[in-house]
Chain A
Amino acid sequence: MVRLQAAPFDSGALLSAFCADRSETGAVVSFTGLARAGEGDVESLVLEAYPGFTDAEIARIAGAARARFSLQDVLVVHRIGEIAPGEAIVFVATAATHRREAFEAADHLMDYLKSRAPFWKKERGPHGERWIEPSARDLEDAARWE
């Protein structure tokens, strides 16, 4: 399942709900990405999405990850709009029979989300605004899965 939302979320509550009623799941891995203050340079992040396209693209890659890593379930929750430092931007959870697939699928999904999912990210700070593009490291990370 994929959800884009402007409202903050509680990743602990998302994880508890994701783990509920799983008598055949051996492993759940979750990742929570937080907005950083950048030592005072960042007052907020602004995430722009393309409604109807961003959610469809993430659902497509989540479906592919589900097949590739034999997942039982996957959840992606991603914030859009303005996000304050310390707030969660993204939550990914994967459920599998065994841990290796759950770990790898979560890693894969985050590498995808950092550089290939249709989001545009702007930092707002005391010195103005700046669009963030994927780093060389982000691109290398995503290429590991090809």
Chain B
Amino acid sequence: MAKVLLFGRLGDIAGWRERVVEPAPANLTALRELIAGLDPALAEALAGKGVQAAVDRVLVRGDMALAAGAEVAFMPPMSGG
């Protein structure tokens, strides 16, 4: 399995912020395609400018293999302060 987390407006658009995907896709690209396939509005938001992904709390650029139990977060542009 893989745990998927959505932050900021991605969670509002999807209507969920955390979900378990079973079995875990082989890599980040496959996972992104799987959750994008659930919801066209989420697919569009995930493809938006500045959306970043983290695997097990490390930012990932491009693709990477997912181990079983991976925690994958999709994050829109960040804004604090």
A59 within 8 A of B: no
Give the complex CA separation of A122 and B13 in angstroms.
14
Q: What are the residues of chain B within 8 A of A134 when measuring CB–CB?
A: 77-79
Give the complex CA separation of A67 and B50 in angstroms.
29
User: Of B50, B57, B76, B77, which is within 8 A of A53 by CB?
Assistant: B57
Give the complex CA separation of A65 and B73 in angstroms.
26
The smallest beta-carbon distance between A134 and chain B, in angstroms, is 5
The smallest beta-carbon distance between A128 and chain B, in angstroms, is 12
A78 touching B7, Cβ below 8 Å: no
B57 touching A120, Cβ below 8 Å: no
Q: Which of A22-61 contact B (CB under 8 A)?
A: 33, 47-48, 50, 52-53, 56
A52 touching B57, Cβ below 8 Å: yes
Identify which of A5-13, A95-103, A111-119 touches chain B: A111-119
B5 touching A119, Cβ below 8 Å: no
Give the complex CA separation of A110 and B79 in angstroms.
11
Per-residue A-contact encoding for B37-81, CB less than 8 Å = 1, 0 else = 000000000000010001001000000000000000101111111
Q: Interface residue tally of chain B, by bracket?
A: 10 to 19
User: Of A48, A90, A110, A132, which is within 8 A of B7 by CB?
Assistant: A48
A133 within 8 A of B: yes
The smallest beta-carbon distance between A144 and chain B, in angstroms, is 16
B77 touching A117, Cβ below 8 Å: no
User: Of A33, A53, A113, A117, which is within 8 A of B54 by CB?
Assistant: A53
B76 touching A131, Cβ below 8 Å: yes
Give the complex CA separation of A23 and B76 in angstroms.
44
B78 touching A117, Cβ below 8 Å: yes
Contact A50 B80, CB 8 Å, known A56-B57, A118-B75: no
- Nearest B residue to A121 via CB reads B79
Give the complex CA separation of A131 and B73 in angstroms.
18
- Residues of B at the A interface (CB closer than 8 Å) are 5, 7-9, 12, 50, 54, 57, 73, 75-81
Which 7 A-B pairs give the minimum distances between C-beta atoms? A120-B8, A119-B80, A53-B57, A131-B9, A117-B80, A114-B81, A113-B81
